A and B are shown apart, each in its own frame.
Chain A
């Protein structure tokens, strides 16, 4: 008999003030920009300043969000650590490459190379906790975080672990933003929170963030929601999407009508928001809808922000007005998240109040 999987705690550092779990999008940071940085927590409260100086931003953000999640779950250690990241500590790898070229392969130091390893965040958390358990890092673009979720779900369902720290982290880096603006993956014209979806321009608003969650097969007072299921698809045509969603829900004994809220990953890219349109104007036309990338920006693990948002929505039984995509009232009990990036790496995640 498979065990149920619960989200027992959350931790977030994002382009909004989300690091304080006692609040829920009460202060919103608007912008007129092509890229967004995170709203920084007080890192000094979590990391000794001497250590923080050499630390990659991805590690710093993750120290805060992982400690927040562990604290809320009331845990000092954990059975496994699973992290998703599209690009790892990209700032260090980018600077290491730049140094290689500028210094013609001389006078290099190892720190940047060491932090460039994609599994640095997972390794550093393990080191900090002294956690010798299972330790994995997934690096598959927009499904990096969902891959981590799926791995945790497998272990918890089969009772191979009880508490797992699962997260997603990505840094925003100058070279990455500028090069991707050259190929219109990121916007060249600034947008605001309100104009993102109506911008009618190519590309997304690049951002960054770190989200961690304790997933467990034991429900406790702090529990946010139950993770009913998730699926990952390497690529889908828009025409295939409704059928895939239907069969995903059917597999989990749900129908379209059972969904109280669908959370969509629209990022204002005129070339790819059609995927979301297929669902918002079709399958879920009569379902309450929400979006989030106007708050979080786009990055490989932005869907972890949606996971954070959905967990908070279910726990507080409220949908903040700022995320609503239509005027329908939601009872916020059963939430489906759908995300994709540039037509690839699609994911469906189903959460339920418990």
Chain B
């Protein structure tokens, strides 16, 4: 068992708020962020609901002091969140120690690419976005905004487990001494690309998503940016930082079952959770709350439910809920959004409601928490699973 890595800052922008405080207020008051889509002109707008960030691109540009139409939406959401995280940590000079930026995304600058895909050949009006498609560009723009120089920077894209993996890599790099500070998380904006992609997979719900419900109809796509600041013990001591929580466990495994579906028994999920417990030096009984991946697709919730039963045992699954009913599925960022929520849960000893739940699933006897509830929490486990069989688990704890 090794010591946990300190989290000294966090930031988030999602469908339920433009900062950490707003997100927490929505979570405890049961305020959903799911609505009809307003910012993308798609023919599916009457058949889908999404977790949209309220601010328009123009409003984000103004808030960040950026010139008009230089950034696609993903980097702007990322900058909003990363900036809040850094401010909270109290970092004045980002280059004052070995700092790394580890972001994650699935779409990168796709929102602009799909808009100007053919127009690029007709006019040079939007050529600034040609090089904005690739995932690394969003990270580079975040780094530039933060003023990061001659530093480690990378981007992870493991579908819907991406940000969890970014947090994991950051913790590992600090643990091994490669970095003193890691700014970790992810960003993904809504796009026609993902809306239509998930539409072809027939896993989009036409109403409010209802994780772990027997009659769940699929997911609502969402968008968000979420970042954490992780710092080494030395920096925490030297700067006298207030530590929000610790990353104590992490595990990554591959289901190796199907490119887009999870195995029925959740092999990969069980392995990821077990690995995370091992790294944290904990047993399943130590987990006080599970923030589930819970996308509300038929496949995920069945697989994840079975995996929890296998890990914790029948009748011994701790309180769990999915917060996807609040935010929608924010793809790459889901693990980052839910890490922020897990830290807030630890800070406030608060379990969030799994909204829209009515009927227990027929396959097993599992009931998510449906009310906001107080409970003394020491260790929270957060799952993120994605295409390509990716399964990731983080354990966040009050103490190192």
Contact assessment for A96 and B390 in the assembled complex, using a CB-CB cutoff below 8 Å = no
Question: Closest CB of chain A to B116's CB: distance in Å?
Answer: 9
Contact assessment for B178 and A232 in the assembled complex, using a CB-CB cutoff below 8 Å = no
Most chain A Cβ neighbours within 10 Å, of B42, B114, B152, B259: B259
With A137-B158, A235-B149 in contact, do A120 and B197 touch (Cβ < 8 Å)?
Answer: no
**Chain B residues within 8 Å of A130, by CB:** 256
A345 within 8 A of B: yes
**Chain B residues within 8 Å of A118, by CB:** 106, 135, 157-159
A284 within 8 A of B: no
Number of interface residues of A (CB under 8 A): 67
Contact assessment for A136 and B252 in the assembled complex, using a CB-CB cutoff below 8 Å = yes
**Chain B residues within 8 Å of A124, by CB:** 259, 388
Contact assessment for A127 and B256 in the assembled complex, using a CB-CB cutoff below 8 Å = yes
- Of the candidates B192, B198, B271, the one whose C-beta lies within 8 Å of that of A100 is B192
**Chain A residues within 8 Å of B198, by CB:** 113
Most chain B Cβ neighbours within 10 Å, of A105, A134, A135, A182: A135
Contact assessment for B193 and A93 in the assembled complex, using a CB-CB cutoff below 8 Å = yes
**Interface positions of B from 92 to 149, Cβ below 8 Å from A:** 101, 105-106, 108, 110, 113-114, 117-118, 120-121, 124, 127, 130-131, 133-137, 139-140, 143, 148-149
- Of the candidates B155, B165, B193, the one whose C-beta lies within 8 Å of that of A140 is B155
Interface of B is mostly: mixed
With A100-B192, A119-B387, A233-B150 in contact, do A126 and B254 touch (Cβ < 8 Å)?
Answer: yes
B311 within 8 A of A: no
B60 within 8 A of A: no
B361 within 8 A of A: no
Instruction: State the CA gap A233–B148 with chains docked (Å).
Output: 10
**Interface positions of A from 91 to 129, Cβ below 8 Å from B:** 93, 96-98, 100-101, 104-106, 108-110, 113-114, 116-120, 122-124, 126-127, 129
- Of the candidates A87, A96, A136, A154, the one whose C-beta lies within 8 Å of that of B165 is A136
**Chain A residues within 8 Å of B367, by CB:** none
Binds B, one of A143-151, A196-204, A318-326: A143-151
**Interface positions of B from 22 to 70, Cβ below 8 Å from A:** 42-44
Number of interface residues of B (CB under 8 A): 69
Contact assessment for B390 and A119 in the assembled complex, using a CB-CB cutoff below 8 Å = yes
Contact assessment for A138 and B140 in the assembled complex, using a CB-CB cutoff below 8 Å = no
Contact assessment for A151 and B150 in the assembled complex, using a CB-CB cutoff below 8 Å = no
Instruction: State the CA gap A164–B145 with chains docked (Å).
Output: 35
- Find the A residue at minimum CB distance from B201: A110
B298 within 8 A of A: no
B241 within 8 A of A: no
Instruction: State the CA gap A339–B140 with chains docked (Å).
Output: 17
Contact assessment for B192 and A105 in the assembled complex, using a CB-CB cutoff below 8 Å = yes
**Chain B residues within 8 Å of A81, by CB:** 254
With A93-B193, A113-B196, A118-B135 in contact, do A179 and B106 touch (Cβ < 8 Å)?
Answer: no
Contact assessment for B152 and A232 in the assembled complex, using a CB-CB cutoff below 8 Å = yes
Question: Closest CB of chain A to B394's CB: distance in Å?
Answer: 15
- Of the candidates B193, B255, B259, the one whose C-beta lies within 8 Å of that of A97 is B193
B151 within 8 A of A: yes
Contact assessment for B135 and A234 in the assembled complex, using a CB-CB cutoff below 8 Å = no
- Of the candidates A96, A135, A233, the one whose C-beta lies within 8 Å of that of B253 is A135
**Chain B residues within 8 Å of A109, by CB:** 200
- Find the B residue at minimum CB distance from A121: B388
Contact assessment for A126 and B389 in the assembled complex, using a CB-CB cutoff below 8 Å = yes
Most chain B Cβ neighbours within 10 Å, of A116, A132, A231: A132
Given contacts A123-B388, A134-B254, 19 further A-B contacts (CB under 8 A): A97-B113, A97-B117, A106-B43, A108-B200, A109-B200, A114-B201, A116-B197, A123-B389, A126-B388, A132-B254, A133-B253, A139-B136, A139-B155, A140-B136, A147-B155, A178-B121, A233-B153, A234-B149, A234-B151
Mark B residues whose CB is within 8 Å of A: 42-44, 101, 105-106, 108, 110, 113-114, 117-118, 120-121, 124, 127, 130-131, 133-137, 139-140, 143, 148-159, 165, 169, 172-173, 176, 178, 192-193, 196-201, 252-260, 267-268, 271, 386-390
* Residue contacts A-B, CB under 8 angstroms, 25 given: A86-B134, A86-B135, A87-B133, A97-B110, A97-B113, A97-B193, A100-B192, A105-B43, A118-B135, A123-B390, A127-B389, A131-B254, A135-B158, A137-B157, A137-B158, A138-B155, A140-B135, A140-B139, A144-B154, A147-B154, A234-B150, A234-B152, A300-B134, A300-B136, A345-B140
Mark A residues whose CB is within 8 Å of B: 81, 86-88, 93, 96-98, 100-101, 104-106, 108-110, 113-114, 116-120, 122-124, 126-127, 129-141, 143-144, 147, 150-151, 154, 157-158, 175, 178-180, 182-183, 185, 231-236, 240, 244, 300, 344-345
CB-CB nearest 5 A-B residue pairs: A123-B388, A113-B197, A141-B136, A118-B157, A234-B153
